[in-house]
């Protein structure tokens, strides 16, 4: 009797163990070398997201993968490898076999980390598959701010604190780029927070004079009237008020957008890159994914594999100069 009970209890523990195994150690098989010829993909595709579960990189990748399972004809296993501003996940992707069975979720940080000495990633180390989203940075102020326009900020002599999502992140560099172009870089101060939500919280609580984050993140606060957008660092976005000027319209030569896309380690055969581009693009065009992007306010913007590679190369060079200019460079 006692033995039976003990066995039952041991079995319960074993069951718990198996459950943990399912949720945790789910890669491995995909790393096996593909048999060659045959049809690609013939085994599950690993998708490595370099940011935590729940963020825009993660949630869009999960949405896209949900549809792409069908369009690509293979299960897609997502895993989050986080840390080091994305460096951990990027390196995990780049060090995987270049067989097309491991793809990574790309963000603009992929072009920035090398210049800051965080992780040596050169555009030659990876191949773009596609870009699916583009999100311009928006500069906003609390509703009761004395600044009515970006020109007011430029014309004043004030020391202006700017909440960003973190030093070296795209929202920080985007504001530095704007400040340099507008000639106010000596009066503006970066106040780095942990992520866009905390930065917005600081501006909402009047802790900082300005906030620099992505349009989608700022959207709910613009709609509730708590934050006033002063300028867009990219093309106009349809859900923002029409009178919000772009930096170009203000005569400031600066443009910074956050992007989301997919990439693979360098060396993946070109035909596989094309197949991945096709099936993920088909998923991108699906109603399910489009609806999701629309409701979350993330702009869809497609670049094919070549265009994406070229864009990332150009951004890599631009950020190299910018990061050196603001004194964060290591090269």
Partner 1 sequence: MENWAIGLEAVADPTVLLLIVAGVLIGIVVGALPGISATVGVAILLPFTFVMEPLQGMMLLLGIYGGAVYAGSIPAILVRAPGTPASAASVADGNALTRKGQAERALKISVLASCLGGIFGVIVLALMAPALASIALGFGPAAYFMLALLALTVVASVSEGRMVKGLISGVIGIGIAMIGLDTIQGFPRLTFGSADLTAGINYIPVMIGLFAVSEAFMQFESKAKLKLDVATEKFKASLKWLARISPSGLLGSVIGFIIGVIPGTGGDIGSFVAYNEAKRAARDKSKFGRGDERGLAAAEAAKNSGTAGAMVPMLTLGIPGDVTSAVLIGAITVHGLQPGPNLFSGAPDLVYGIFIGFLVVYLVLLILGWLGSGLWSKLIERVPSSYLWPSVIVLAVIGCYSLRSSAFDVLIMLISAVVGYVLAKAGFPLAPLIIGMILGPIAEAGFRRAMIIEGDLSWIFSPLPLVLLILTLLSVGFAIWREFAHHGSLSETIGMDNTVPPTGATPVVTADGPSGEQGAAGSVDSEKPAPSRSSGQSDS
Please report, as residue ranges, which positions from 166 to 185 form the binding site for partner 1 (by CB under 8 A).
166-168
Sites for partner 1 among residues 89-118 (CB under 8 A): 91-92, 116-118
Q: Which residues of 279-291 are buried (b: 16+ CB within 10 A; e: fewer)?
A: bbbebbebeebee
Taking CB under 8 A as the criterion, the residue among 69, 145, 156, 198 binding partner 1 is 198
CA angle 306, 303, 217 (to 5 degrees): 140
Find, among 145, 147, 149, 140, the residue nearest to 250 by Cα. 149
Q: Find out whether the peptide bond into 156 is cis, omega within 30 degrees of 0.
A: no
Taking CB under 8 A as the criterion, the residue among 19, 235, 266, 274 binding partner 1 is 19
CB 164 within 8 A of CB 175: yes
Looking at the DSSP bridge assignments, the partners of residue 163 are: 191, 211
Sites for partner 1 among residues 209-248 (CB under 8 A): 219-221, 223-224, 226
- Cα diameter, the chain: 85
Q: Which stretch binds partner 1 (CB under 8 A): 123-131, 146-154, 274-282, 289-297?
A: 289-297
CB 164 within 8 A of CB 172: yes
Does 74 sit near partner 1 (CB under 8 A)?
no
Taking CB under 8 A as the criterion, the residue among 45, 137, 191, 215 binding partner 1 is 191
Taking CB under 8 A as the criterion, the residue among 47, 141, 202, 283 binding partner 1 is 202
Sites for partner 1 among residues 26-65 (CB under 8 A): 27, 48, 52-55, 58-59, 62-63
Q: Which stretch binds partner 1 (CB under 8 A): 145-153, 178-186, 188-196, 260-268?
A: 188-196
Binding-site size, partner 1 (CB under 8 A)? 72
Least distance in angstroms from the C-beta of 169 to partner 1: 9
Taking CB under 8 A as the criterion, the residue among 6, 122, 235, 271 binding partner 1 is 6
Task: Give dist(CA 237, CA 215) in Å, integer.
Answer: 8
Site string for partner 1, 116-155 (x = CB under 8 A): xxxx------------------------------------
Taking CB under 8 A as the criterion, the residue among 161, 185, 187, 282 binding partner 1 is 161
Task: Give dist(CA 184, CA 265) in Å, integer.
Answer: 40
**Nearer Cβ to partner 1, position 109 or 309?**
109
Q: How many CB atoms lie within 10 A of CB 268?
A: 21
Does 296 sit near partner 1 (CB under 8 A)?
yes
Taking CB under 8 A as the criterion, the residue among 73, 84, 236, 313 binding partner 1 is 84
Least distance in angstroms from the C-beta of 167 to partner 1: 4
**Nearer Cβ to partner 1, position 122 or 159?**
159
CA distances 89 to 57, 82, 189, 280, Å, are: 12, 6, 30, 20
CB 240 within 8 A of CB 138: yes
**Nearer Cβ to partner 1, position 20 or 266?**
20
Task: Give dist(CA 175, CA 255) in Å, integer.
Answer: 10
């Amino acid at each position: 009797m006692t033995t039976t009970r003990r066995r039952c209890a041991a079995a319960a523990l074993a069951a718990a163990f198996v459950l943990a195994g399912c949720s945790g150690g789910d890669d491995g098989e995909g790393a096996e070398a593909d048999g060659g010829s045959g049809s690609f993909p013939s085994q599950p595709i690993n998708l490595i997201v370099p940011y935590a579960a729940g963020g825009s990189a993660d949630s869009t990748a999960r949405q896209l993968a949900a549809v792409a399972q069908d369009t690509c004809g293979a299960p897609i296993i997502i895993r989050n490898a986080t840390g080091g501003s994305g460096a951990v996940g990027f390196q995990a992707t780049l060090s995987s076999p270049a067989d097309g069975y491991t793809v990574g979720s790309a963000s603009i940080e992929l072009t920035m980390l090398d210049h800051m000495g965080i992780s040596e990633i050169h555009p030659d180390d990876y191949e773009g598959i596609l870009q699916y989203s583009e999100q311009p940075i928006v500069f906003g102020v609390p509703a009761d701010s004395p600044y009515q326009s970006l020109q007011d900020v430029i014309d004043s002599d004030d020391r202006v604190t700017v909440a960003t999502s973190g030093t070296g992140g795209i929202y920080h560099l985007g504001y530095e780029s704007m400040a340099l172009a507008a000639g106010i870089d000596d009066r503006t101060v970066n106040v780095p927070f942990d992520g866009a939500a905390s930065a917005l919280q600081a501006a909402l609580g009047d802790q900082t004079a300005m906030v620099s984050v992505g349009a989608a993140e700022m959207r709910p606060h613009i709609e509730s009237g708590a934050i006033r957008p002063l300028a867009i660092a990219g093309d106009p976005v349809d859900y923002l008020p029409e009178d919000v000027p772009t930096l170009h319209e203000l005569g400031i030569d600066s443009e910074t957008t956050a992007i989301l896309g997919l990439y693979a380690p360098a060396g993946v055969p070109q035909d596989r890159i094309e197949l991945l581009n096709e099936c993920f693009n088909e998923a991108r065009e699906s109603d399910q994914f489009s609806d999701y992007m629309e409701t979350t306010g993330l702009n869809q913007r497609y670049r094919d594999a070549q265009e994406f590679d070229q864009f990332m190369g150009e951004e890599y060079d631009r950020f190299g100069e910018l990061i050196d200019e603001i004194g964060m460079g290591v090269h």
